[in-house]
Amino acid sequence: MIVRELKPGVYALIAIDWDRKLFDELVPLPEGTTYNAYVVVGSEKTALIDSVHPSMTDAFLPALKSLGIERLDYIVSNHAEPDHSGSIPAVLAMHPEAKVLANVKCRSLLTSSHGLPPEVFTLIKDQQVVSLGDKSLRFMWVPWVHWPDTTFTYIEEDRILFSCDFLGAHLATSDLYADDEARIERAARMYYAEIMMPYRTHAKKYADQLSTMAIDMIGPSHGPVHRRPEFILSLYRNWAGDATRPEVIIPYLSMYESTAKMVAYLVDRLMEKGLSVQPFNVVDLDSGRFAAALVEASTVVFASPTVLDGPHPSMAAAAYLANALKPKTRYGGIIGSYGWGNDAMQNSLEKMLPNLAVQWFAPVVTGGVPKSESFAALDRLTEDIARANTVEQ
């Protein structure tokens, strides 16, 4: 682990986790991730902003020591989640003189997670400024991007924003800066979908707010540093805004090919209408790609066979994820098939999706293999989807 300078007196300490494949036993990491900490050296005082995942502590401490800091005055905790705070106890052991700057919510979470005693903390408030001499740190309390304790830290003189999880990307790379924007956009979109999309209104609020500030550089807690801030801010304004794209996402699975035939037919008809379509087989679902696809899509159609009067368990899991992520999707549909049972599956599935504020199209569910009337119903569904998306445009 090395130390790299962003501006005079401002350093990035980025722990690269090349091999990690899953975050929180939930979020896929196809390209690993990083845990970013920053050091700000003022003319009078020095501050460490966040730390790294506890598994990286043994690499982080020597990097911090290499800066030759004799006295560390502050440890700023922007967010108490262990991937950012996990090394704070070790830093305090090395620098017992340091005070942990945290808002009241973050202090509570750090105390419960790490057992830090009250005397190590100095509470900070929204818009409070702490002087380091020739550099000033301004704190912005920004709850729900994505925890209630989240804080941004802004160096007023250097116009650098440390945005914590906000505006980040799970991407293990040796690049210090986010100059490969096509690659960054893919990683940042997946990151937004999995972590920020459930708090979309908050993300939009803070992206708009930051767009009015004088910011030269954004240092997130995951992924490369943005030296063209408008790139990532414009993406967030689009992703978190209300506008959708005319795109149909189809999570599906099929037990005896009946539902698969319906999906194939619907995909072809939608393509004939000029609509973008993306099916996802949920049996072995890549939840990251699925989440990313939901970010701007106007329409989602769930396609499932019936199992015990409800959707297949794999479809129920995909529906649970979609419901939890709260995408801005505007239209929804359900298609599928059943054997000896009845057509109750669509009712059970729709009840699993209360967070989807969608206009539901008439379901298309068939007994056994799809027949001519099933395909006719899919034709009507195609027309409804195309019409809705034409109005949307």
Residues 216-248 pLDDT 10s: 999 999 999 999 999 999 999 999 999 999 999
Judged against a pLDDT cut of 80, whether residue 373 lies above it is answered with: yes
214 shares its domain with 317: no
Show the 3-state SS of 63-86.
HHHCCCCCCCCEEECCCCCHHHHC
pLDDT (0 to 100) of residue 340: 77
Q: Which residues contact 212 (CB under 8 A, 6 or more apart)?
A: none
Residue 175: helix, strand or coil by DSSP?
coil
9 shares its domain with 124: yes
Q: Please list the residues that pair with 23 across neighbouring strands.
A: 27
Give the domain CATH number at 300: 3.40.50.360
Residues 328-364 pLDDT 10s: 999 999 999 998 777 789 999 999 999 999 999 999 9
Mean pLDDT value of segment 92-106? 97
More confident residue, 392 or 337: 337
Number of domains in the chain: 2
pLDDT (0 to 100) of residue 288: 95
CA dihedral (44, 50, 56, 62) in degrees, to 10, reads: 0
Q: Which residues contact 104 (CB under 8 A, 6 or more apart)?
A: 123
Contact 210, 241 (CB under 8 A): no
184 shares its domain with 293: no
Rounded Cα gap, residues 99 and 180, in angstroms: 37
Tell me which DSSP letter residue 199 carries: G
Give the domain CATH number at 107: 3.60.15.10
94-109 burial string, b = 16+ CB within 10 Å, else e? ebeebbbbbbebbbeb
* CB atoms closer than 10 angstroms to residue 1: 16
Q: Domain range for residue 218?
A: 3-240
Residue 158: helix, strand or coil by DSSP?
coil
274 shares its domain with 158: no
In a domain, 392, yes or no: no
Rounded Cα gap, residues 215 and 63, in angstroms: 27
pLDDT level of residue 325 (50, 70, 90 thresholds): very high
Percentage of the residues of the chain whose pLDDT score is greater than 90? 95
Q: Which of 215, 240, 265 is the last residue of a domain?
A: 240
Rounded Cα gap, residues 155 and 256, in angstroms: 60
Residues 255-298 pLDDT 10s: 999 999 999 999 999 999 999 999 999 999 999 999 999 999 99
How far, in whole angstroms, is CA 242 from its chain's centroid?
A: 17
230 shares its domain with 267: no
95 shares its domain with 22: yes
223 shares its domain with 136: yes
In a domain, 340, yes or no: yes
Rounded Cα gap, residues 59 and 64, in angstroms: 9
270 shares its domain with 377: yes
Q: What is the residue-wise DSSP string for 246-298? A: EEEEEEE--SSSHHHHHHHHHHHHHHHTT-EEEEEEGGG--HHHHHHHTTTEE
In a domain, 391, yes or no: no
Rounded Cα gap, residues 163 and 203, in angstroms: 12
Q: Please list the residues that pair with 172 across neighbouring strands.
A: none
pLDDT (0 to 100) of residue 391: 64
Residues 160-176 pLDDT 10s: 999 999 999 999 999 99
313 shares its domain with 225: no
In a domain, 297, yes or no: yes
Q: Which of 240, 265, 300 is the last residue of a domain?
A: 240
Residues 63-81 pLDDT 10s: 999 999 999 999 999 999 9
58 shares its domain with 135: yes
Mean pLDDT value of segment 185-213? 97
In a domain, 393, yes or no: no
Judged against a pLDDT cut of 60, whether residue 393 lies above it is answered with: no
In a domain, 163, yes or no: yes
Contact 18, 33 (CB under 8 A): no
pLDDT (0 to 100) of residue 354: 97
Residue 343: helix, strand or coil by DSSP?
coil
The reported pTM is: 0.94
Residue 88: helix, strand or coil by DSSP?
helix
Judged against a pLDDT cut of 80, whether residue 387 lies above it is answered with: yes
How much is the mean pLDDT over the chain?
96
How far, in whole angstroms, is CA 281 from its chain's centroid?
A: 22
44 shares its domain with 113: yes
Q: Which of 218, 240, 262 is the last residue of a domain?
A: 240
207 shares its domain with 257: no
pLDDT (0 to 100) of residue 392: 55
In a domain, 351, yes or no: yes
In a domain, 46, yes or no: yes
* CB atoms closer than 10 angstroms to residue 76: 24
Preceding omega of 79 cis (within 30 degrees of 0): no
